[in-house]
Amino acid sequence: MDHKTNIHELKEMVRKFCEDRDWNQYHGAKDLAIGISTEAAELLEIFRFKSEDEIRGLFKNPEKKEHISEEVSDVLYFLLRFAQMNNIDMATAINDKIEKNNRKYPVDKYKGLNKKYNEY
Per-residue pLDDT at 120: 44
- Name the band, by pLDDT with cuts 50, 70 and 90, for residue 83: very high
> Which is more confident, 114 or 7?
7
The secondary structure of residue 113, as a DSSP letter, is S
pTM value is 0.85
Residue type at position 28: G
In order of their start, the domains of the chain are 2-91 (1.10.287.1080)
Q: Is pLDDT above 50 for 36?
A: yes
Distance CA(27)–CA(79), nearest Å, equals 11
Name the range with the highest mean pLDDT among 1-10, 33-42, 111-120.
33-42
- As a residue count, the chain comes to 120
Q: Is pLDDT above 70 for 96?
A: yes
Percentage of the chain modeled with pLDDT above 70: 95
Q: Is pLDDT above 90 for 9?
A: yes
